[in-house]
Amino acid sequence: MNKSILIPTLCLVLWLALISPSHSQGLKFCPVELKIAGQCGSSGIYNCYIAVNARYGAAAMTKDCSCQPLSNNEQDCKCLIVCQH
């Protein structure tokens, strides 16, 4: 690769690497609660993640889910989702 192209390309890559983390710092996560069918069990947190992600979409960046068993074969899912960019 030509040196006249290589140096600006490397500078651009380094600049983007430094800027990307600062953009994610502006995100605010808020708690959401969702009741779904089934019991928590070994895959309860994963099922909560899937249910919340299906309801709010991938842009919500669902994280930190927890599962609480309820009566009548239900589970209470609590997760964090992006509520402000």
Q: Over range 33-58, report the average pLDDT.
A: 92
Q: What letter would DSSP give residue 26?
A: T
Q: Over range 4-28, report the average pLDDT.
A: 64
User: Can you point out the beta strands (E) in the chain?
Assistant: 28-37, 63-70, 74-84
Q: Over range 39-62, report the average pLDDT.
A: 92
Mean predicted lDDT score pLDDT of the chain: 82
Q: Over range 31-45, report the average pLDDT.
A: 91
- Both tokens assigned to 28: 């605010």
Q: What pLDDT shows up at residue 57?
A: 92
What gap in Å lies between CA 15 and CA 35, rounded to an integer? 44
